[in-house]
Structure formats: structure tokens, C-alpha cells
């Protein structure tokens, strides 16, 4: 079976978000996450920094968000495109300022858009370590969405969170050796849940916490440790209400490791204490 982890490893490289106030959102990410706005034409803002980047388009431009996954070389990108073609997944060419020419977009059954490509030259910025690492969604059709990403795209399930009646509530999926680069929670709506930056160690979590405290941006979940992935974490929000997670010590998973199963309980989401449980 084709898997991203074994055949064409992919990592989350950047986000494309849509905002009612792009300038305000860009100022937040430049100030708090050490991103710099790059020169460019048109209404879309391009921000890049040390191992993290994003583009921001204004609302009302008929532009949808997408989530950019980077591959290591052109042959891998073509192998992935060929695999998607065999599963009748439509690949649409996309001009993305943070990817080289040849990037393509796919849409899942509910319309979320992932873009695969080769990154342009890395931006040599400085700042506290925090590599853009995963993104998470809430969905009303968890089973259908997970089948798409596993059977057609090539993600691998690392862990599932299961309710008392056997209903799968959360699925963590990987596209390389890290525990998850994509995850889904079963929810009452379809929305972007959060995105995460992986730091180097616990002291980085402390430093990021101090940075947000100095800016009077409160932590709303954490600090704590997740069960699935075993990572330390905390979460804050940006001016648009998007949730950011900062993480350390995320588990690496061998390709032969079967999925784990966890109970749907607060201690699964935060072994240190109270948890934010989606409904």
C-alpha cells in the first residue's frame, strides 16, 4: 500500500489563510512569531520566518484557505501525483508564492484543500525555535474524511481516540516519521481546529509562554502533555480567533507500528489535568 511516510514523505510547510483584516493578522505573526513580510504584488500577504511561513488573503476575494505540504524533490512530487491519479483524485495546478512552479492542489470530500509542492529557497530568519508541524480540523464526517486521506492520499493512522460505545472520535495521521502532521476531531461542525509549531525542548515552551504573556495573549489550554503523540503543549489564539499550539517532544513513529487506541477522556488530551474536549 502506498504511504506518504514510506514513499514520498511530506511535512507541513505553510498555511494560506483568509482574513477580514490581513494587515492586523500579519502584524501579529510578524511580532509574535518572528515572521517577515516578503515583497510581492497583489492583495495576498506573504510571510516567512525560521521554519514557518504563511500567506494571508483578504476576505471577499473568492479565495479559499489551503495547507501546504512540502516534499523533498521533484521525483517524489511526481510519484505522489501519479498515486493520486490512480485513485481518481483530481490534482489542480496552483500558483503558490511559497512553492516552486509545479505545485498542485487536492480537495477532500468536504472541500478542505491541501497543496503539495517543492518549497522555494528557505527564508533565513532568526527567532525562538518553532517549526510549523501539523494542522487539525473538526469534521461531521470523520470516517469518510479519514478514509480519503488514508486510502487515496497515503496518510497513515498513528492513533485513534474511541468513545465508550466504540465510536472513533479523533484520528491522528502522519505523512512522515512524526506522530501526526494532520488530525481530525469528530464535531458538530466543520472548521479549522488549530495549527501547531514544534519547538526543540521544554525550555522553548517556557520561552514562548513568556513571549505571549508579555504581549498579554493568554494561554487558553495547557500547559500539559497529550496522550497521543506524548508531546508537551500549550495553546493561544491569534486576532482572528485561530488557535495556535506550541509543542515539544512529539513522538516519532516507525512505519511498521500499528495504530494505538486511546479512551475518549480528559486525560487522553491532557495527562496533566483539565482538557479542552470538542463537542
* 48 and 113 co-located in one domain: yes
My answer on whether 159 and 88 are in the same domain is no
Q: Which of 117, 145, 169 is the last residue of a domain?
A: 117
Averaged pLDDT of the chain: 96
pLDDT over 90 (residue 114): yes
Higher local confidence (pLDDT), 241 or 60: 241
Contact 144, 189 (CB under 8 A): no
Res 127: pLDDT: 83
Residue 147 in domain = yes
In a domain, 260, yes or no: yes
pLDDT at 12 over 80: yes
* Residue span of the structural domain in which 25 resides: 7-117
Quickly state the pLDDT bin for 241 (edges 50, 70, 90). Answer: very high
**Is it the case that residue 269 has pLDDT exceeding 90?**
yes
The answer to whether the beta carbons of residues 268 and 225 sit under 8 Å apart is no
Beta strands 182-186 and 191-198, pairing class:
unpaired
* Predicted local confidence at residue 123, as pLDDT: 67
Q: What is the per-residue pLDDT across 23-59, written as a single tens digit (0 to 9) for each?
A: 999 999 999 999 999 988 789 999 999 999 999 999 9
pLDDT in the model for residue 113 = 98
State percent of the chain over pLDDT 90. 92
Q: Which residue has the higher pLDDT, 61 or 160?
A: 160
Tens-place pLDDT, residues 205-219? 999 999 999 999 999
**274 in any annotated domain:** no
Could you tell me if residue 136 is inside a domain? yes
> How far apart (Å, rounded) are the C-alpha atoms in residues 234 and 206?
10
Q: Is residue 221 part of a domain?
A: yes
For the chain, percent of residues with pLDDT exceeding 70: 99
Q: Does any domain span residue 2?
A: no
Among residues 84, 117, 150, which one ends one of the domains? 117
> Does 122 reside within a domain?
no
What would the grid cell of residue 276 be? 479542552
CB 202 within 8 A of CB 248: yes
pLDDT (mean) for 185-193:
96
Residues 110 and 142 in one domain: no
CATH at residue 84:
3.10.180.10
pLDDT for the residue numbered 247? 98
Cell readout for 218 is 493568554
Give the mean model confidence (pLDDT) for residues 145-167.
Answer: 98
* pLDDT greater than 90 at residue 88: yes
**pLDDT classification of 61: cutoffs 50, 70, 90:** confident
d(CA 72, CA 66): 19
What's the CA gap between 72 and 47, in Å, rounded? 21
With a threshold of 0.85, does the pTM exceed it? yes
Judge whether 15 and 135 are in contact, CB under 8 Å: yes
Domains in the chain: how many in total? Answer: 2
Judgement on whether residues 46 and 151 belong to the same structural domain of the protein: no
Residue 212 lies inside a defined structural domain of this protein:
yes
pLDDT at 124: 63
What is the rounded average pLDDT of the residues 72-91? 98
Q: Are residues 109 and 156 in the same domain?
A: no
Q: Which of 89, 117, 145 is the endpoint of a domain?
A: 117
Amino acid at each position: 500500500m502506498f504511504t506518504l511516510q514510506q514513499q514520498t514523505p511530506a511535512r507541513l510547510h505553510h498555511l494560506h489563510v483568509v482574513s477580514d483584516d490581513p494587515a492586523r493578522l500579519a502584524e501579529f505573526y510578524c511580532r509574535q512569531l518572528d515572521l517577515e513580510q516578503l515583497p510581492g504584488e497583489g492583495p495576498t500577504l506573504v510571510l516567512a520566518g525560521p521554519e514557518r511561513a504563511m500567506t494571508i488573503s483578504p476576505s471577499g476575494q473568492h479565495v479559499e484557505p489551503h495547507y501546504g505540504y512540502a516534499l523533498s524533490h521533484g521525483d517524489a512530487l511526481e510519484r505522489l501525483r501519479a498515486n493520486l491519479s490512480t485513485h481518481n483524485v483530481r490534482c489542480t495546478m496552483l500558483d503558490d508564492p511559497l512553492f516552486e512552479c509545479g505545485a498542485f492542489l487536492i480537495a477532500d470530500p468536504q472541500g478542505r484543500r491541501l497543496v503539495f509542492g517543492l518549497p522555494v529557497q528557505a527564508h533565513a530568519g532568526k527567532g525562538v525555535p518553532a517549526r510549523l508541524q501539523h494542522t487539525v480540523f473538526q469534521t461531521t464526517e470523520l470516517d469518510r474524511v479519514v478514509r480519503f486521506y488514508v486510502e487515496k492520499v497515503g496518510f497513515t493512522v498513528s492513533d485513534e481516540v474511541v468513545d465508550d460505545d466504540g465510536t472513533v472520535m479523533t484520528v491522528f495521521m502522519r505523512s512522515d516519521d512524526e506522530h501526526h502532521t494532520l488530525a481530525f476531531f469528530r464535531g458538530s461542525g466543520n472548521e479549522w481546529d488549530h495549527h501547531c509549531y514544534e519547538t526543540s525542548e521544554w525550555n522553548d515552551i517556557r520561552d514562548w509562554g513568556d513571549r505571549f504573556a508579555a504581549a498579554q495573549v493568554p494561554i487558553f489550554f495547557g500547559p500539559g502533555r497529550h496522550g497521543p503523540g506524548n508531546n508537551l503543549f500549550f495553546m493561544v489564539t491569534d486576532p482572528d480567533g485561530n488557535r495556535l499550539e506550541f509543542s515539544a517532544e512529539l513522538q516519532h513513529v516507525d512505519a511498521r507500528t500499528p495504530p494505538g487506541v486511546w479512551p475518549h477522556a480528559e486525560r487522553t488530551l491532557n495527562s496533566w489535568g483539565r482538557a479542552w474536549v470538542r463537542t
